[in-house]
Amino acid sequence: MGLNPKIEAFLKEVNAHPISLELVSPEQFRNQARMQEDAPKQEVAKVEDSQIELHDRTLPIRIYRSENKTQPALVFFHGGGWVVGSIDSHDATCREIANLADCTVISVDYRLAPEHKFPAAVEDAYDSFQWIAANADQLGIEHDNIAVGGDSAGGNLATVVCLLTEERSGQQPVFQLLLYPSIGYIGEEPASLRENAEGYLLTKRLMNWFRSHYYRTEADRLNPYASPVHSELLHTLPPAAILTAQYDPLRDEALAYAERLKQVGVDVFVKNYDGLIHGFAGFTAEVEEAYQAVAEGAAQLKQALHK
């Protein structure tokens, strides 16, 4: 299937003005990304900014409630290659998921690379999830009914939280919502990494740029907390919904990961969406197919949280 026409028009504009990765700094990239944060936003019952006080750092969070009552919750980690993105960049997405899944979404502003290299984001993700679970009553959420999720690099962090929980005997999320996650691969380069290497927003060069800022050394690439596909604890993971896109370089590694999870007995909903690209959750206001994809993932989350 060909590219969605609206996305194709968007890409034509983006590709006409490419970013020179050799010349741009992470801060310059973040500033450019912030200029695109004016996506239309759904109304939710309540939005509040707060923070998580950990023993050696403070992390901002934003809480979205679909109703003013105690609800199940999703702890959400934004994408952006561990280098860009924020609770502001994913504000529209969190609002949509809160409404679609009828839950409270808590978006976490974890520390970014290269100022804070791997595993700082991983530790922030794990510690924030455990803090939220421990403070569920004061946050107005159901203590035993908290899922984890994210898109791209945030999807990576979400599933790594579940792996760390097993190792550290923390509270395990009840479900994972992984939108086009960065998972890593074993063996030869997946076909989608070659087929979609350039021209579809997330490029192979951009992925390498992100990783060069996130990893401390090349050895980090094989660490299960950077590439969860290498973990030997996959059988301990909670049920998951994994959404991928046809024109995404990360497509095949996420699909292979879904199959690995199924093989070790994890309940997985997995779907690849034709005509869409990496980051499609950011196109839901303009592209009906992108909205329907996010809605399908949110429906799986809703089913898990409202049993």
> How confident is the prediction along the chain (307 residues), in pLDDT tens digits per residue?
899 999 999 999 999 988 888 889 999 999 887 866 677 899 999 999 999 999 999 999 999 999 999 999 999 999 999 999 999 999 999 999 999 999 999 999 999 999 999 999 999 999 999 999 999 999 999 999 999 999 999 999 999 999 999 999 999 999 999 999 999 999 999 999 999 999 999 999 999 999 999 999 999 999 999 999 999 999 999 999 999 999 999 999 999 999 999 999 999 999 999 999 999 999 999 999 999 999 999 999 999 999 8
User: What's the CATH number where 235 sits?
Assistant: 3.40.50.1820
pTM for the full predicted model:
0.97
Query: Whole domain around residue 107: which residue ranges?
Result: 5-305
Contact predicate 276/246, CB 8 Å: yes
pLDDT at 51: 98
The conformation of residue 77, written as its DSSP 8-state character, comes to E
Amino acid making up residue 60: P
Q: Record the tokens describing residue 202, joined without a space.
A: 């997330």
**Pairwise CA distance, residues 52 & 83, whole Å:** 21
SS (H, E, C) 249-266: CCHHHHHHHHHHHHHCCC
User: Pairing relation of β-strands 104-108 and 176-179?
Assistant: unpaired
**Pairwise CA distance, residues 307 & 277, whole Å:** 32
pLDDT at 35: 62
Reduce the DSSP state of residue 60 to 3 states and report it: strand
Sheet holding 240-247, edge to edge: 46-53, 58-65, 104-108, 71-77, 141-151, 176-179, 240-247, 268-277
Give how many domains the chain has, as a whole number.
1
**DSSP one-letter string for 200-248:** SSS-HHHHHHHHHHH-SSGGGGG-TTTSGGG-S-GGGPPPEEEEEEEE-
Q: Which residue has the tokens 């969070």?
A: 61
Reduce the DSSP state of residue 84 to 3 states and report it: coil
Phi, psi of 233 (to 5 degrees): -110, 20
Distance of CA 192 to the CA centre of its chain: 19
Contact predicate 73/132, CB 8 Å: yes
CA quadruple 94, 97, 98, 101: dihedral, nearest 10: -160
**Pairwise CA distance, residues 96 & 84, whole Å:** 21
User: Where in the sequence numbering do the catalytic residues fall?
Assistant: 152, 248, 278
